[in-house]
Structure 1
Amino acid sequence: MLRITTLIENNADDKNKLVNEHGLSLYIEADGKKILFDTGQSGAFVQNAEKLGKDLSEIDCAIISHGHYDHSGGFRKLVGSVPSVPQLIVGKGFFEAKHKYCEDGETSFIGNSFNRQYVEDRQILIKEVEEDIFRITENVMLFHNFRRSNEFEKLNEKFFIDQGGSRLTDDFSDEISLGIVTDKGLVVVVGCSHVGVLNILETIKERTGLPIYAVLGGTHLVDADADRIAKTMAAFRKLGISRVAVSHCTGSEGIAAMRQEFKENFIYNNAGNVFTI
């Protein structure tokens, strides 16, 4: 059985008993493993996990999809809340200093609140994924090095990496996504899809040859225009995706389009939502 519990997300839970914030954190139970996928912005996911009956001390590993504060910001709180974190899994380049250009012309640091030394000092094993596919178990795998398969999912030039004073547009080469094999097909978990949700999904389909049954997480359609959203929905149909459970950086227009496309198979993945197969 696969169970994915959303510990924290931008939107409040249905009963208004959990903390919500701009960020994402998921507790994944699959193939005999308990996996934390992203840690939100502040660490408030820890208290939500307790309310939801998810014991963070039992996780086999913590995965952070990319080095932005709203996905990695709660890692310090996690470390301080459990006896040990067995392993941190990130994509190669995760520890680069990430920034963005603001509307007022200033810049803002939007990267991690910790560095590699912080993790190593606490004797947490670090796995930096360089491979195209890294298997956690036979049926749970991480994907990296996504192929660009279209012209309309462009990198947002407001995001940049500071390398020794040089500002380089962030290509999000550190981004990783999770795939879980189920009887119904592959369930893909995405953090923010900065490299393009279709680039991610089409790369995964090409590498595995498996049908994609469902997509969960953030699809970063928040800045997308109507044409890109329409092309995304057409590609989802072509891929044969049956269910989506998205929100976070998907944006209101992207959510509306997906709700219309998938109808009863659309899940508004707010805090506290549980996705099961």
Structure 2
Amino acid sequence: MTNNNSESRNTQQQLNFKPVQYLAITFLVDNSIEWMTKLPSGFTHEMRHHLNHKATEVDPLTGVPILSLEDFCCAAHGFSALIETHETAESTPRFTLFDTGPESKSLSRNLAGLGTPLVPIECIVISHWHADHTGGLLSFLDLRGKDTSPRTVIDVHPDQPTARGIAPPPSDKVICQLPRDPTFEEIVAHGGVVEKHNEGHAITGGAVWISGEIPRVTPFETGLIGGMRFTPNEDGTSGSWIKEQDIMDERYAAVDVLGKGLVIFSACSHAGIVNVVKDAVERFSRPIYMIVGGLHLAGPELADRIKPTVDFLSKDLIPSPTYVLPMHCTGFSAKIALEAALGEGCVPAGVGHKVVIKGVPNDDASLRPPSIRSC
């Protein structure tokens, strides 16, 4: 009976997830800056934004715009993407912020440099409780102003750890603790409205889907090697570190673009990007048009995951994604492998880039459900 009720709720929630005719993504925080590499149609470099901005100074002697390098985005170890959706060509745009980067400086600087309006951002999604994704949250709320109406909804997983750390294998000794995430009380004090979700649900008028806990079904995707979680004693005076490779509070986001398919946002992919894609395909039976974000394949200890991941995306998933944007924690070796397999479908995205995806409503009915080749 419980399972049937759960399935009924999930079906209803999915019915609230609506396709959009227009999606724009602006990368506000990422590990990489990329000014010069050729990008596909629909992608623009940050430089183009500054050249077209009406506030850009024009040199009176030469008559051409001056690039103010003081205003360009800076890179940082983390991720944040601004998601702009239009349900129809005539509808008012709606804005969702997916993660907030690692600290108070990078997101604030990059928002100012790009001239991004803060008030229209109605929801901030925290993909998981790691400081490189939550560190800019309170500074964003301070910039927006805690008395600004309407207040911003902060969509989070309810299982917030006291602390997380790293213990390089084979030892269980924690060599460092990550900065603590903003508490629920701090978020409210800075003007946010906390909404806790551990199940999939639609936000921003149904334009953006936020997953629940991601099923772990892929054998080679075994989580964050060396991940540790601090568990305090009941009296709060002390506690102990326990192994936590599975970061079960991690969630992905998805936008369904008419005539194109799903755009998947996976900030860190501790669950494994194959697990993420499998869940989205099973849930929605829509082709994957684009994968955006960190694929968590950096470092020698994760090298053996690169080939099966690339093989899945390029061979086993049918059709393959049109674009994969490997960012944040993907790593150099994985980017090379993805480019070798996908060619121009592997896009070197970075902070300051903007992506525009326009839906094709008349072509939507012709999209075939994706399939996954048996291995």
Q: TM-score, normalised by structure 1?
A: 0.92
Query: 1:227: Cα distance to partner?
Result: 3.9
Letter in 1 for 2:24: R
Q: Contact (CA 8 Å) 2:138, 2:187: kept in 1 or not?
A: no
SS of match in other structure, 2:119: helix
CA contact (8 A) 2:34 2:349 kept: no
Question: Are 1:221 and 2:268 matched, yes or no?
Answer: no
Matches within 5 A, 1:35-74: 35-43=96-104, 44-74=106-136
The C-alpha deviation readout for 1:162-221, integer Å capped at 9, x for no partner, is 111232322211111100010200000011011111111101111112111110010101
Distance 1:225 1:83 in 2: 41
Could you tell which deviates more after superposition, 240-249 or 77-86?
77-86
User: Which of 137, 147, 158 is matched with 1:92 structurally?
Assistant: 158
| Contact 2:138 2:190 (8 Å CA) reproduced | no
State the alpha-carbon separation in 1 of the partners of residues 196 and 161 from structure 2.
10
Conservation of the 8 A alpha-carbon contact between 1:90 and 1:176: no
More deviation in 102-111 or 158-167? 102-111
Residue 101 of structure 1 corresponds to which residue in structure 2?
167
Give the counterpart of 2:78 among 11, 18, 23: 23
Once the two structures are overlaid, the 10-residue window that deviates more, 73-82 or 110-119, is 110-119
Which digits, 9 at most, give the CA deviation of each residue in 1:209-245, with x for residues without a partner?
Answer: 2111110010101136554211111211222211111
State, as a whole percentage, how many aligned pairs show the same letter.
27
User: Who is 2:145 aligned against?
Assistant: 83
- Find the aligned partners of 1:151 and 1:96 in 2 and give their Cα distance: 29
Q: Secondary structure at the match of 1:259?
A: helix
Take 1:233 and 1:19, find their aligned partners in 2: how far apart are those partners? 29
CA–CA distance in 2 between the matches of 1:151 and 1:113? Answer: 30
Q: Residues of 2 paired with 1:55 and 1:123: CA distance?
A: 17
Determine if contact 2:141/2:191 at 8 Å carries over to the other structure: no
Structure 1, 61-70 or 118-127: larger mean CA deviation: 118-127
- Does the CA-based 8 Å contact 2:78-2:132 persist in structure 1? yes
Q: Which range is displaced more, 176-185 or 7-16?
A: 7-16
Q: Which amino acid aligns with 2:114?
A: L
> Which secondary structure state, in structure 1, belongs to the residue aligned with residue 230 of structure 2?
strand
Which of 347, 354, 357 matches 1:267?
347
What residue number does 1:148 align with?
A: 216
**Alpha-carbon distance in structure 2 between the residues aligned to 1:99 and 1:227:** 23
The structure richer in strand per residue is 1
Displacement of 1:80 in angstroms is 1.3
Q: Which stretch has the larger CA shift, 36-45 or 49-58? A: 49-58
**Displacement, 1:272?**
0.7
State whether structure 2 residue 70 is matched by structure 1 residue 4. Answer: no
In structure 1, C-alpha distance between the alignment counterparts of 2:142 and 2:335, rounded to whole Å = 35
Question: Hey, what's the Cα distance between the residues in 1 that align with 2:304 and 2:231?
Answer: 34
Letter in 2 for 1:9: D
Q: Write out per-residue CA displacement over residues 9-33 of structure 1, whole angstroms, 9 at most, x where no aligned residue.
A: 1112415732111111111101332
State the secondary structure of the residue aligned to 1:57: coil
CA distance in 1, matches of 2:353, 2:114: 10
Structure 2 stretches of 5 or more lacking a match?
1-21, 36-46, 48-68, 87-92, 233-238, 358-375
**Paired positions, count:** 276
Question: Residues 253-275 of structure 1, C-alpha deviation per residue, up to 9 Å, x if partnerless?
Answer: 11111112221122112111112
2-side partners of 1:91 and 1:188: how far apart?
18
Over the aligned positions, Cα root-mean-square deviation in angstroms equals 2.0
Partner of 1:252: 332
Q: Which runs of 5+ in 1 are unaligned?
A: none
Partner of 2:11: none
What is the Cα deviation at residue 249 of structure 1?
0.2
- Deviation larger for 33-42 or 15-24: 15-24
- Which of the pair has more CA radius of gyration? 2
Which amino acid in the other structure matches residue 153 of structure 2?
A: Q
Structure 1 position 92, deviation (Å): 2.7
Q: Which residue of 2 aligns with 1:177?
A: 252
- The separation in 2 between residues aligned to 1:123 and 1:139, in whole angstroms, is 24
Q: Return the letter of the residue paired with 2:353.
A: N
